Amino acid sequence: MKSTKLVYMEDMHTLEGSAQVVEVGEQDGRKYVVLDQTILYAQGGGQPADHGLITSTHAGFAVTDVRFKDGLVYHYGNYVNGALAAGEGVSIAVDGERRQLHKRLHSGAHVLDMTVAEMGLPWVPGKGYHFPDGPYVEYAGFLQGVSTDELKAKLEERCNQIIALNLPTSIRFVSIDEMTKLCRFVPDNLPAGKPARVVLYGSFGVPCGGTHVARLAEVGRIIIRKIKEDKGVIKVGYTVDI
């Protein structure tokens, strides 16, 4: 089966689109729809899945989870009316409010990475969690007696100064070799089956397949909730002013 085209990798802001149904079915008690292309974000990279609606002239499918597996995107959910069939054309609508919050949270994490780099902190980026219930970014490193209250205040102040610059977001599809030139850090475990993409704010690049704001002012205000270190892993909890 041909891979699903990830339209959101090229255009992170479109909330309505069209596609053709490739397959419908059920997995582990969950109904799913596979399309030839999708604007609905598949959960990954620490960012939750989009929600939305897939409709044809006679059916509607409410999407409550989206996953990328072996080149295909599975849209999980339930029919609100009728049923879809392979081969028919459909319209897609993304829950814009949910998407915008996730974009702000994910972009806020990149601003935090940018601030850590600018401040010269010797921390190596690790995993990020950009869900609304408690977002954080992890780094390999040690605090070594640093006052976490002072560090929180400095990080937060500089993050919001960077946001105030309102830099535009740009994306580039590159080879891994080019990626190392554009990014401070490139992880070894880039997701298989997806294009190698860099998200840039100005000249600061991060390898990322998530959705992001068009300009940094959309993030709003970043709040650093906490900083703690445990056995060489520094966790920086943050949120955006909602």
Give the pLDDT band of residue 106 (cuts 50, 70, 90): very high
**Residue entry with tokens 């059920």:** 26
Predicted pLDDT at 146: 87
**Is pLDDT at 192 greater than 80 in this prediction?**
no
What is the spatial distance between Cα 231 and Cα 228, in angstroms, rounded to a whole number?
10
In this predicted model, what pLDDT tens digit does every residue of 62-88 receive, in sequence order? 999 999 999 999 999 999 999 999 999
Q: Which domains does the chain have, with CATH numbers?
A: 5-94 (2.40.30.130), 99-240 (3.30.980.10)
What is the spatial distance between Cα 97 and Cα 145, in angstroms, rounded to a whole number?
41
Q: Please give the average per-residue pLDDT across 144-156, as a whole number.
A: 94
Residues 6+ apart with CB under 8 A from 115: 155, 158, 159, 162
Number of H helices, E strands in the chain: 4, 15
Helix (H) or strand (E) holding 107: helix 96-118
Predicted pLDDT at 187: 87
Predicted pLDDT at 188: 83
Predicted pLDDT at 195: 84
Give the pLDDT band of residue 193 (cuts 50, 70, 90): confident
Note the pTM of the prediction, 2 decimals.
0.95
Helix (H) or strand (E) holding 125: strand 124-129
**Is pLDDT at 191 greater than 90 in this prediction?**
no
Predicted pLDDT at 189: 78
In this predicted model, what pLDDT tens digit does every residue of 8-65 receive, in sequence order? 999 999 999 999 999 999 999 999 999 999 999 999 999 999 999 999 999 999 999 9
**Is pLDDT at 144 greater than 90 in this prediction?**
no
**Is pLDDT at 242 greater than 80 in this prediction?**
no
Q: Please give the average per-residue pLDDT across 119-134, as a whole number.
A: 96
Least confident of 2-11, 193-202, 206-215: 193-202
Contact between 185 and 96 under an 8 Å Cβ cutoff? The reply is: no
In this predicted model, what pLDDT tens digit does every residue of 216-233 receive, in sequence order? 999 999 999 999 999 999
CA torsion sign for 126, 201, 195, 69 is positive
Mean pLDDT across the chain, nearest whole number?
96
